[in-house]
Amino acid sequence: MDRKIFRLALPNIITNITVPLLGMIDIAVAGRLGSAVYIGAIALGANVFNMIYWNFGFLRMSSSGFASQAYGARDLAEVMHVLIRTLLIGLGIGGMIVLLQYPLGRFAFSLIKSGPETVHHVESYFRIVVWGAPAVLGMYAFKGWFIGMQNARIPMFIAI
């Protein structure tokens, strides 16, 4: 039993370690640009997306729970339905974020209290990164589904 749990836990631990590493790489690249404004813009822009994506963490959690229930019941049709439903929801919400990027961006930028140059770069960062929202939320569905299928290695490989 312990070995089976460890087999699922270790890839999850590695996957979770990759998230801050990616942020550190962003900061390192921005630091090479020669101004602290870029580092501030990356940090603020990342926080904007963390706020947005955090609200949709249910995609990963629900796909994991529903997939594991269907997998345990050996209902392979429902296993596939879970993946399709959560994937469509994730892609749909991501598409809505892209379509609503201007009002969402205006609201997010109104919350930022920083210099005009930094806010300008946050806006640029936002306008570029927002196009990845469908992929990010679709990946939430995939990662949760794979974990529900007792396969934590594929999400780890995706994260790496």
pLDDT digits (tens, 9 = 90+) for 88-146: 999 999 999 999 999 999 999 888 888 888 889 899 999 999 999 999 999 999 999 99
What residue segments make up the domains of the chain, in order of their start?
2-159
Using CA atoms, how far apart are residues 149 and 63, in angstroms rounded to an integer? 10
Q: Which tokens sit at 34?
A: 């020669």
pLDDT digits (tens, 9 = 90+) for 2-60: 887 777 788 878 877 877 787 788 788 888 888 888 888 888 888 898 889 999 999 99
pTM summary value: 0.84
